[in-house]
Structure 1
Amino acid sequence: MAGKVLCEATSLFNLLNQYTNFPRLAESNYLCLIDARVEESYNFSHIITARNAKLDSEGKFIMPVDVEVESMRYIIVYDSGTQSLSDSGPAIDCADSLEKASQFPIQILTGGYEKFSALYPFLRTEKILYNIRELESLNLYPVEILPGQLYMGDYRQATNLKVLKDLKLNAIVNVSNDCSLIFKKANCTVLHIRVADSAEADLVTSFERICVFINSHLNNASSVLVFSTLGKSRCCAVAMAYLMSHLKYTIKEAWNHIQQCKANMRPNRGFVQQLSDWELQTLGKRVTDTSEPNY
C-alpha cells in the first residue's frame, strides 16, 4: 500500500503545467486528477482535466475504467476543502479506495477545490472530455517558484498576454537575446539581460542586479516572471541564484527546489560553475560539489 500524502495547490499548478515537446498532460500515465465532490458541483465547475469520481454498487469510489492505477505517476484527489489527512470526507474516502492499487502515494489536494480555484481561477472549467489533440495543444503557464510571487517560463509564455494577465504579472526578467514589444501592451516593467545559452556566456555578473530587481518588485507585492527562450537553462540559473540570495539556499537546495517546480530544468555547465561562484559570494564558502553527475 503506497499510502496518502497531501499536495499543496502550488504543486498541482506546477504538475498541470509541465511539458517536454508537448504538455505532459497528454501522456496517458502522467496525471489523473479526481474530483470527489458530488456530480452537480463537478458539472458546474472543476479543475482542468479533472474527472468526477464514480461510486460502485456498495458506495465505494472506483477509478475510471481507462485509467491504469498501477502505472499512473500522479493520482491527485480533491473535494471542496480537505485540509489534512486526519480529516474525513469524500477526498479521504476516495484516496482510501485507490491507494491499495497504486505504487505511488495518492495525493490529496490541501484546501481542495475552494482553495485551488481561488488561487488559480483561470484553471477552472466546465469541460469534461479531452481528446489527445486538445491535450497536446493546451496553453500552459509558467511554473510557480515562490507561490504568488515568482514564476519561471519560456518566451512563448512570456509573450502571451492572457498568461501575463491571469498571473497578474507586473515585472519580467528577460534572460535571452529575444526582445518583444508586447510587454509594453502588458504594462510590465522589464529587465532585459542579453545573454546566450552557452557555457562561455557571462551570467554571474548580472545576478546581483537581477536579485535587486526581483526583490524591489516582490517587496511592493508585485509578481515577477523570469524567462528565457526555452525556459530550461538561463531562467533556471537565474531563479536558482535568486533563491540562493534571498533564502540563502545552497546550490543543492536551490537545484532541488527548481527541479520540483520544473522537472526538465537544466542550466548548462557554464552556468552551474557560475552558480558555484555565486554560492561562494552569498554563503561565504562553496558548499555544493558541482562536479557530481547530478549537476
Structure 2
Amino acid sequence: MTSHPVTISASVTTYSSKMAKLTLCKPTELYNILNQATKFSRLAEPNYLCLLDARSKREYNEGHIITARRTKKDQYDKNFMFPESTELDCFTYFIVYDGHTNSLDEEGPAIECARVMAQVCRLPVMVLKGGYELFSAHYHFFRSQKVFWMPQEIDDFKPHPVEIIPCFLYLGDARHGNDLHILKDLKIKSQIKVSMNPVNVSLENVHMLHIPTTDSNDSDLLQFFPNVCTFIDSQKNSAVLVVSDLGISRSSTVLIAYLMHYRKCTLKEAWEDVLKCKMNMRPNRGFVVQLSEWEKTIMGHHITDISDPKF
C-alpha cells in the first residue's frame, strides 16, 4: 500500500475548525468495536474500522492488535503519513495507538499521529487509552503478527462476545456459549442461557442458569429477572456470559434488566449502555413492555417512555 506525506507538522497543537477532534478510546470500547457482527464480522466492511499502530516497525512486527496497520513517517522521520485511500474520511471508527499513551495531554507517537489523521477525518479520531500494553494485557488473544489480511480471512473471523462490564459480564450468541476457546479466553465460569435449546452437556465446568424461553412477544421473561439478578450477583469472582440463539433479543433483555438492578438506573440508561456495546441488540416489543414493568419495580414508577420509536 502506498502512502502520501502530509505537510503539517505532527507537533501542531492547535486545530482549524475543519479538523476532527481527538477522543480517548477505552480498551473495552476497542474490544467491542472489533467484535461487532451481523451475519459476518463488521471488520469485513471496507469503511468500518481504520486501526493504526503508531509504534516502531520492530514493535509492530513483534506483535500488534489484529487488523492494525502500521503508520509510517516521511523520509526525514519527522511527519506521519496517512495511507492512500479516497475513503479515508469515511470510516465509522478511526483509532490510533502506541505503547502506553493514557491522556490526550501527553506527547507521544499516538497523539502526534492522531493530530495528523484528524486533518483528513470527518469523525473524531480516537486514541487508545493505555495503548497496546494495556489492551494486550486484557485481551492477549487479540494480539497478532499478521501484517496482511485477505478478504476471506476477515470474512472467516469469528468475533468474541461483547463486554458489558469489563472482565465480568458478556453478551453473546449460541456459538459463543459452546466455544471452549472463547470461554477460556474470557475466563467464563458462569453462563445464563436464554433459549429453548438444551444446555451443552460438555460445559461441565461452567455454572449454568438455563431459562427455557422463546423469542416471542408472548414469552414471559419478567418472571425470571429476580433469579437472573441473584445469579449474576453471586458470581462476583468469575466472569458471566449471557447468551441466546442470536444474541440479539432475549439475552440483551436479560442484561438490560440486570443493569437496571445493578446500577439502580432507568430502562433508557441501561438500554443505551447495552446498545453502545452491541449495536444490533434489539429486544422484541413484548420484552420492552416487561422491561418497563421492571423499571417500575426498580425505580418505584415508570420513567422511560417506551412509545419512543427507538424502543
Q: TM-score, normalised by structure 1?
A: 0.97
What are the Cα deviations for residues 89-109 of structure 1, in whole angstroms up to 9, with x where unaligned?
Answer: 000000010001111000000
Is the Cα contact below 8 Å between 2:190 and 2:208 reproduced in 1?
yes
Partner of 1:154: 173
Structure 2: how far apart are the matches of 1:277 and 1:140?
A: 33
Deviation at 1:228, TM superposition (A): 0.3
Partner of 1:231: 247
Matched-pair identity in %: 47
Q: What SS class does the counterpart of residue 5 from structure 1 fall into?
A: strand
Is the Cα contact below 8 Å between 1:82 and 1:91 reproduced in 2?
yes
The within-5 A match list for 1:84-163 is 84-163=103-182
What are the Cα deviations for residues 200-252 of structure 1, in whole angstroms up to 9, with x where unaligned?
Answer: 0000000000110000002xx11000000000000000000000001012010
What are the Cα deviations for residues 158-199 of structure 1, in whole angstroms up to 9, with x where unaligned?
Answer: 1111000000001000011122425534x1000000000000
Q: What SS class does the counterpart of residue 252 from structure 2 fall into?
A: helix
Structure 2: how far apart are the matches of 1:183 and 1:274?
A: 33
CA 1:183–1:189 in structure 2 vs 1: closer, same or farther (change >3 Å)? Answer: farther
Q: What SS class does the counterpart of residue 62 from structure 1 fall into?
A: strand
The within-5 A match list for 1:1-295 is 1-58=19-76, 59-66=78-85, 68-185=87-204, 187-218=205-236, 221-295=237-311
What are the Cα deviations for residues 235-276 of structure 1, in whole angstroms up to 9, with x where unaligned?
Answer: 000000000001012010011101100000100000000000
Structure 1: how far apart are the matches of 2:55 and 2:86?
A: 19
Structure 1: how far apart are the matches of 2:202 and 2:295?
A: 32
Number of residue pairs matched by the alignment? 292
Q: What SS class does the counterpart of residue 6 from structure 1 fall into?
A: strand
Structure number with bigger Rg: 2
Unaligned ranges ≥5, structure 1? none
Structure 1: how far apart are the matches of 2:200 and 2:51?
A: 38
Deviation at 1:67, TM superposition (A): 6.7
**Code of the aligned partner of 1:82:** T
Deviation at 1:66, TM superposition (A): 4.0
Is the Cα contact below 8 Å between 1:159 and 1:182 reproduced in 2?
no
Structure 1: how far apart are the matches of 2:277 and 2:155?
A: 20
Structure 2: how far apart are the matches of 1:130 and 1:72?
A: 18
